[in-house]
Homo-oligomer: A and B are copies of this chain.
């Protein structure tokens, strides 16, 4: 039952990560719905929903008959959205409460994060 993060959002996350890491640059075309669906082994409807979401957030835009392209300010928008989610959306508070319950100290957290960054 436990329904995990929806597939279409997982794909959106991946695309955003790709954009942040400049694998897709501003005004560059991203793969078509069909390509992504084939590559990710999902229904085309699922990818369409991903694109809808990203377009609504101004991260990608459509050139009729040509496909979807990365917005000029995609990086800023992604960062901004994530920042909002993180700070105001309660994600951070939730994480901190988990960390506290697990008995993790600030120093311990710092160490874990350093480990992560140096991977």
Residues of chain A having any CB pair with chain B under 8 Å: 1, 3, 6-7, 17, 20, 43, 52-53, 55-56, 64-65, 79, 82-83, 86, 91-93, 95-102, 106-107, 109-110, 112-114, 116-117
Which B-chain residue is minimally distant from A78 (CB atoms)? Answer: B101
- Say what secondary structure dominates the interface of chain A: helix
Q: How many identical chains are in the complex?
A: 4
Cα distance A20–B75 when bound, in Å? 40
Is the beta-carbon distance between B116 and A102 smaller than 8 angstroms? no
Cα distance A90–B43 when bound, in Å? 25
Query: Taking the nearest CB of chain B, how far is it from the CB of A14, in angstroms?
Result: 12
Q: Which of A17, A43, A86, A114 has the most CB of B within 10 A?
A: A86
Is the beta-carbon distance between B79 and A101 smaller than 8 angstroms? yes
Cα distance A82–B7 when bound, in Å? 23
